Chains A and B, each alone.
Chain A
Amino acid sequence: MDSKTWWRSPEDVDPDQKKLMTLPPDQPKFLLTGPPGSGKTNVLLLRAVYLIRSGFPNLRVITFGRTLTEFIKSGAEANGKIPAQQIDTHINWQYALIRDLTGKRFSPSAERLRFPDLRAELLEASKQAADTAGVGEGHYDALLVDEVQDMWREELLLMAGLTKRLFLAGDARQRIYDRNEGIKTAIDELKCPQQQLKKHYRIGRAICRAADRVLDEKGFSLETNCQYNEARLKSSVASHAHPSWDSQFDDLYERLERQLRTYPDEWIGVITPTRDALKWVAERLEKSALAKKVKAHKTFEEKADRTFDSKRPICVMTAHSAKGTEFRAVHLFAAETLTRNVRQLGFTIVTRAKTSIDVYLTGHLRPELQAAFAEERVPEFKEIFGE
């Protein structure tokens, strides 16, 4: 699959990134921020490799979502430098921690708990297990945490109590959950020295422009700091209005067929705002002639398979699952169903695309999202009167 996703040689790394990877092994805490495509996850993984090579192999790479974990694992396996079992979501990491410290498996109070409730119970159990076992900062050589903006304050404090080396990476603009305390905690309470990566290389200029219009950040623009090679692969953003989901699907299908030829061996994402839309489009794709090329992350099922398969480059998932992933081309299906947390989710979806994003809708988009995909032009005078 796309070899450019994961850096493999020193030439891929710019001087700022190199400096961060090779911080002294005894650097106790560090916070790395930067826009999507700036290389945060890559720096974090190569920092982990650097620490392993420095004689600190007992480390864990902790991510927020399952999809991102699987995505990173696929890269780590290809790279062969970090054992895949040392990469996990913060939820699974806590399950493993409790089992290691108490010898017992954590059981939530009810079977189908809401995710925030499960998360709270798990956190409480982890803190108790650590207290009871009397473990401290020597428990891990290092913890490296990606997507820190979505971590809770208490979760970060728990992590900080278990290691002397805490390396955090995140971006406030890519936050998709309500509690906004990860980065604040890192700076204010953990007193992490911070560095921001500004340049980014992954996302095309047209996509940067759309992302900046979805979610404005005072004093920072993705487009201004874009280093993407537009001359080689021109980026594009387009929206397509359709009378029905069936019609959306026909349009999507035609583009997917073309993109499989245009971008051989590269990931293509089909993202939906809701699980209903995911189920609908995944079923249609799996019955189509493209079925063998499709891998749906069916989060509407109990134990969804969220792994990536290089033989199935079309990845179908919800916007929440897409966090942290990257695709050569993104298709936002049933965009009209994106009605909550529009700016944050919209920003996350748009910035998953490297070169093209196509938005399919039946009805109206929320204005803040519509603005991102609107064509900028000087209209004819008569158009004002609907002619």
Chain B
Amino acid sequence: MNEPFEWRQLDRNALLQVFAKTESTGQISGTPISDVSRVQRLPKDAVLAAFKKESGSQSFSLMGLYVDEAGTRDLFAWISTYLTNMCPLTQICRVQPLSDSVLFEKQEYRPSKLRRSSAWSGVIVGECLAQLGQEPVLRTAPLSAALATFSFPIARYQALWGKLVDVTEVVRRLQLAAGTANGRDRRLAVQRLEIVWRVLRALELDSSGVKLSPMERAIVQACEDIATSASPGGRLANTLSSVLPSTSDFGRLNELTAEERLTVFDRVLDSFLSAPPDPVYRDLRAFAVSVAAWAVGLGDPKHIQLLWPAAEETPILLVWFGLLAGLQSTAANTGEFGSFARLVERELSYSFATGDPPRADIGILEYTVYQEAEFGNLMKDLRRAQVRTLTIELMPGVTFTKAFGSEMTRATLGQGIDDGVQIGKDLLKELDEAFAELWAVRNRLWHGDKAGPQPQSDLFPTKAKDEGTIKKRRGRLGTRESQER
């Protein structure tokens, strides 16, 4: 039986002491907290810390810091001022929003189990292909691309915390982490995928506890028919023919040869492409087209190829197809799609112990603060486990990977890490020049031009603490977004 964590509320002095003697003595600084679930708010400048007793010794290790989100920015400005070598903290201990502390109340082992794991992995493979674009070759698509999808962290969340934490919270964090990658760099944005995740969660939880619109309920029903019925055609036709009349042929699916089913697919696709735009039924129509492609081989994942010409305009088609292919796990396991999906499924199934150290490059809280312009060099100098990618922990054991595009496409290889992770060389040069100019002004005012070159450690944190300086910098340089604009 693992011992529970020791919880302490730490003010900044106590935090300094903890970092100074991280795992040395049997004494822990700060105020003991007996029931962490009752801590709803923290005083200004305070954090909640979880310690784990080292087996066979009296010393304690810092496992996690839990921070009131309102005070996050100030805290990290302070840490990066006085504890420069400890940035980012995620590489030392987990840093999470205070609300996550309940997940750590007990030190426990969380198996990662998804009832519809092949459907989740199908969606991830589908999204991966959609984001890659231009008829990607499944055989050469790297696993890292699948792990960098938006759907991967959602699947991990569902497996680890799906019953404890509301999905809107993880989607919010995902959007923060995605930053401008959400929509600008990727062909599919987070918002566009949310309906797929809602449908999958409803399938995972047998529809209980998931609020669905009538259209989403129709899709869930169709998916359940496909997963359980040997001849789902009739019900599919009933569900889908109201939005795309050509899907009425689904009623005869089992009587048709594969070639005849291809003709049905072509008809459905034609009517989808020629139908006037309709934001209300857009998703149901896209789902119907993917069902038609799925029906050609009754689940054979190879038929995802049929959707490539249309996926250029409507990449979500590939995601729906991935879901459909994964509903019958035996079919999803065949061919190149299957071998790729199996790798993804393996990655999804890693279990997680709350006592494990974080494996991400940075936590979501630190990331959202440090990507701001005035912390730019922190992100630039950040050591990452893998070149060209940045892993951001959204929740314990749930990681989102950035730098998707630059890793996957030849055209963007050689460019730096994408938005929010590394500032381009030109911008850095401009920043350096601006700071040098500022430094020179400061020197003239204080020392009358006698000071030497600026010390590196002064570059960000000391000034970052001074809100006035930050505002001045903003006025001079603007935010990163305004720079991009």
Contact = CB atoms under 8 A, between A and B. Distances in A.
Given A3-B334, A231-B230, A356 B259 contact: yes
Given A3-B334, A232-B298, A264 B305 contact: yes
B258 A262 contact: yes
Given A261-B306, A262-B296, A265-B302, A234 B335 contact: no
B230 A356 contact: no
Interface in B242-257: 254-257
Contacts of A235: 257
A3 B335 CA distance: 7
B440 interface: no
A262 B334 contact: no
Interface string B213-233: 000000000000000001100
A239 interface: no
Contacts of B298: 232-233
Contact of B258 (A3, A255, A263, A265): A263
Nearest to A238: B257
Interface residues of A, number: 17
A264 B334 contact: no
B24 to A, nearest CB: 55
Interface string A255-282: 1001101111100000000000000000
A264 B305 CA distance: 8
Contacts, number: 41
B256 A264 contact: no
B303 interface: yes
A234 B306 CA distance: 20
Contacts of B263: 258
Contact of A231 (B254, B257, B262, B297): B254
A232 B256 CA distance: 10
A265 B300 CA distance: 12
Contacts of A233: 257-258, 297-298
Contacts of A356: 257, 259
Nearest to B339: A3
Contacts of B296: 262
Contacts of A236: 257, 259
A265 B335 contact: yes
Contact of A264 (B231, B254, B261, B302): B302
A185 interface: no
Given A231-B230, A234-B255, 6 more contacts: A231-B231, A234-B257, A258-B259, A259-B259, A261-B305, A355-B257
Instruction: Report, nearest first, the 6 A-B pairs whose CB atoms are least far apart.
Output: A264-B302, A262-B262, A234-B257, A262-B258, A236-B257, A262-B259
Interface of B: 230-231, 254-259, 261-263, 296-298, 302-303, 305-306, 334-335
26 contacts: A3-B335, A231-B230, A231-B231, A231-B254, A232-B298, A233-B297, A234-B254, A234-B256, A235-B257, A236-B257, A255-B259, A258-B263, A261-B262, A261-B305, A262-B258, A262-B259, A262-B262, A263-B258, A264-B302, A264-B305, A265-B302, A265-B335, A355-B257, A355-B258, A356-B257, A356-B259
